[in-house]
């Protein structure tokens, strides 16, 4: 059996909210398309471009900012570095001028209202998240390319092999948790050590560690900013941001000047159960309110579930003496490996598997990471991941108004708490007596995804999305 090589930096991508599959993926697809035009020396020959959005991208595309992401990608802007404060102005300029500067180099006529089409009733067979770019050249020649956003910011082009990792040979090839455990037992390594060895297939150990600390820097900046921005979320649902008011209540008038002084006050508040519970919820709310506001987040493994892992890692740092660079690196390495096993054996796309594929997977990742960092064995670590997913099986994706807000934001708080609970259970258990394996729960998750009605897979056609009577002014 071939082994798919997935790096920790495939699972953790820096990007812009609100959705990895509906925002980051289409953004990357547009970038790839314009780069292909450049590579073929066709960019300056382009006269017109139309974009067709299919299936889930069409049905929840406006709420997820798919049209915005496509325009930014076509413009040559990068989600890692583009100033999110300039998104509204950039999109307004394209709309007003009815022109777009392809890859920042070649201007063409482009009216988003006419040239981005939402095909609500059409879906392509390979994946629900599909988009096509239709190009007309100055010589009136036409051609098209289709891309699929398959979850977590991963993008594949129609007609190209998905196995872009065939030439990457890992010291410890892994597709399943059994294979991961095999290598741990054979080498005596814990999970994070096995993963760190595998990462040397792409880069040096020092580069991997530096990259992971940068990932955490983005995560913690997102938490801190989210804890200090009040107001309403965009999109028309009139959802009030809660993290800032909760932060103020928990701080109780204490003053600070930056993340570090804020963190120290969080630590100084004690270890009361309710106090800790409130802070974990606050951390998760902060990230996903930022995500819903087109803020900069890290897919973990998706944008819709971006708050779970930062919240649990911040909990570990603040309340479990985990404020050490080597422990943060260990946490992220372990989490990424568990996420990659879910991606290989099932899916991390809500359009394919419902919210179990996002919140469920992120909760399993966080539970495993926390367990290893707290001193759990390899088997306890995998057991924690299994417990977390077992209690997310069948969770639907039913965003109201197609926005990544209700119930998505609160689900991140629940996923974080379940991860901590799963870790505690695993740490107090003997895995030899467990009835369900991680591979077993992954197989079950995938079978559940295949059986799940399409209404509950990020289409906003079922569940809360159709049973909550709200008047939407902008959606």
Instruction: List average pLDDT for each run of 10 residues in the chain, which is 475 residues long.
Output: 87 94 95 96 97 93 93 96 94 97 97 96 92 96 94 90 68 97 98 98 98 98 98 94 98 97 97 97 98 96 97 98 96 98 97 97 98 98 98 96 95 98 98 96 98 94 90 46
pLDDT attached to residue 160: 81
Give the per-residue pLDDT at 303: 96
Residue burial 71-92, b: 16+ Cβ < 10 Å; e: rest: bbbbbbbebeebeeeebeebbe
Phi, psi (deg, nearest 5) at residue 167: -90, 0
Specify whether 296 is located in the same domain as 408: yes
Model pLDDT, residue 472: 47
- Indicate if 389 and 340 belong to the same structural domain: yes
Strand partners, 16: 296
Report how far apart, in Å, the C-alpha atoms of 42 and of each of 37, 47, 49 are: 5, 10, 13
**Domain check: are 404 and 268 in the same one?**
yes
In a domain, 209, yes or no: yes
93 and 193 in a single domain? The answer is: no
Kindly state the helix (H) or strand (E) to which residue 316 belongs, with its residue range: helix 308-319
**204 located within any domain:** yes
Question: pLDDT at position 3, please?
Answer: 81
User: Do 124 and 41 share a structural domain?
Assistant: yes
Would you say residue 321 lies in a domain? yes
Q: Last residue of some domain: 157, 192, 219?
A: 157
φ, ψ of residue 264 to 5 degrees: the values are: -60, -40
Domain coverage including residue 456: 177-467
DSSP class of 250:
H
Q: Which of 126, 157, 188 is a domain's end point?
A: 157
Determine the Cα–Cα distance for residues 243 and 222; give it in Å rounded to an integer.
12
CATH number reported for the structural domain that contains residue 32 in this entry? 3.30.1330.90
Are 381 and 409 in a shared domain? Answer: yes
* CA-based torsion, 452, 453, 454, 456: positive or negative: negative
Q: Is residue 13 part of a domain?
A: no
Same domain, 74 and 223: no
Residues 134 and 189 in one domain: no
Torsion of CA 218, 66, 337, 273, to 10 degrees: 60
Q: Give pLDDT, residue 475.
A: 42
Evaluate whether residue 368 is within a structural domain: yes
Instruction: Name residues whose C-beta falls within 8 Å of residue 315's C-beta, 6 or more positions apart in sequence.
Output: 276, 279, 280, 283, 370, 416, 420
- 198 with 49, same domain: the answer is no
| Residue-level pLDDT at 1 | 53
Strand 142-151: give its sheet, edge to edge: 116-119, 46-54, 129-137, 142-151, 154-157
169, part of any domain: no
DSSP structural state of residue 398: -
Q: Is 428 helix (H, G, I), strand (E, B) or coil?
A: coil
Question: Do 302 and 429 fall within a single domain?
Answer: yes
- Residue 162 domain-assigned? no
Q: What total number of domains does the chain contain?
A: 2
3-state secondary structure of 102: strand
Same domain, 258 and 312: yes
Asked if the structure places residue 127 within a domain, the reply is: yes
């Amino acid at each position: 059996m071939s082994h798919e090589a997935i790096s920790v930096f495939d699972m953790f991508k820096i990007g812009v909210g609100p959705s990895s599959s509906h925002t980051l993926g289409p953004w990357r697809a547009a970038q790839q398309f314009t780069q292909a035009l450049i590579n073929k020396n066709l960019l300056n020959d382009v006269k017109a471009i139309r974009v067709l959005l299919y299936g889930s991208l069409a049905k929840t595309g406006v709420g997820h900012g798919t049209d915005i992401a496509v325009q930014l990608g076509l413009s040559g802007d990068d989600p890692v570095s583009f100033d999110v404060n300039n998104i509204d102005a950039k999109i307004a300029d394209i709309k007003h001028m009815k022109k777009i500067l392809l890859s920042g180099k070649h201007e063409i006529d482009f009216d988003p209202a006419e040239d981005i089409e939402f095909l609500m009733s059409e879906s392509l067979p390979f994946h629900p998240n599909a988009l096509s770019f239709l190009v007309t050249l100055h010589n009136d020649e036409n051609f098209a390319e289709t891309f699929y956003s398959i979850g977590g910011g991963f993008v594949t082009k129609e007609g190209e092999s998905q196995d872009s990792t065939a030439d990457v040979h890992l010291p410890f090839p892994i597709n399943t948790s059994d294979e991961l455990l095999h290598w741990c037992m054979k080498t005596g390594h814990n999970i994070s050590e096995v993963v760190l060895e595998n990462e040397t297939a792409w880069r040096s150990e020092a580069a991997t560690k530096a990259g992971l600390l940068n990932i955490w820097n983005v995560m913690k900046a997102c938490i801190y900013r989210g804890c200090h921005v009040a107001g309403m979320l965009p999109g028309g649902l009139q959802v009030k941001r809660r993290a800032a008011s909760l932060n103020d209540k928990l701080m109780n008038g204490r003053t600070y000047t930056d993340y570090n002084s804020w963190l120290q006050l969080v630590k100084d508040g004690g270890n009361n159960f309710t106090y800790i519970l409130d802070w974990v919820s606050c951390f998760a709310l902060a990230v996903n309110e930022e995500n819903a506001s087109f803020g900069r987040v890290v897919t973990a493994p998706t944008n819709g579930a971006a708050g779970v892992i930062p919240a649990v890692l911040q909990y570990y740092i603040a309340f479990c003496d985990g404020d050490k660079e080597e422990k943060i690196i260990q946490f992220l390495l372990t989490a990424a490996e568990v996420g990659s096993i879910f991606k290989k054996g099932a899916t991390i796309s809500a359009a394919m598997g419902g919210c179990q594929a996002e919140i469920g997977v992120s909760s399993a990742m966080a539970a495993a990471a926390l367990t290893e960092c707290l001193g759990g064995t390899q088997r306890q670590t995998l057991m924690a991941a299994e417990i977390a997913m077992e209690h997310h099986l069948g969770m639907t994706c039913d965003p109201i108004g197609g926005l990544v807000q209700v119930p998505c934001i609160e689900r991140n708080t629940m996923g974080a708490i379940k991860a901590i609970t799963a870790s505690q259970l695993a740490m107090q258990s003997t895995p030899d007596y467990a009835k369900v394996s991680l591979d077993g729960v992954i197989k079950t998750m995938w079978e559940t995804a295949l059986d799940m009605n399409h209404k509950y897979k990020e289409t906003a056609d079922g569940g809360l999305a159709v049973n909550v009577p709200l008047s939407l002014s902008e959606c």
